[in-house]
Amino acid sequence: MKKLLLIPMMALLVVLGMSFTNFESETEEQPVMVASDYVLLNGNWTAIPEQSCSGTTYNCKVKFQENGQEFPVYDEMDDPAPKRSGSNEATLINLNKY
């Protein structure tokens, strides 16, 4: 008679224990959102690291090679106006790192 009572109790304990487990942890790390700017590269918007352009005289620009083409930097995709900068020089960045 005791065995008939232990089986349902054991099953209840197993079900109760399994209800607290899951395959993915609710506290798993989320990817860190990195603020980024954008350039229009070959007709496609490409995310680049946030550029510290300050000033209002010139457009902020980046280039990917030392004597390469300069690209205007935008805060958002499809932004009509590029970011403004105090310098007319383009910042050299390595796109392969990102």
Could you list the pLDDT tens digit for every one of the 98 residues in the chain? 666 778 888 888 888 887 777 666 566 666 665 668 999 988 899 889 888 888 889 999 999 988 889 999 999 988 889 999 988 899 998 866 55
Residue 1 belongs to a domain: no
Q: Which of 64, 63, 73 is nearest to 39 (CA)?
A: 73
Residue 13 belongs to a domain: no
58-59 and 70-72 beta bridge pairing: unpaired
Distance from C-alpha of 68 to C-alpha of 52, rounded to nearest angstrom: 20
pTM above threshold 0.75: no
Total of domains in the chain: 1
Range of the domain at 41: 36-97
Provide the token pair at 2.
């005791």
3-state secondary structure of 12: helix
Residue 14 belongs to a domain: no
Residue 77 belongs to a domain: yes
Residue 55 belongs to a domain: yes
Residue 49 belongs to a domain: yes
Residue 57 belongs to a domain: yes
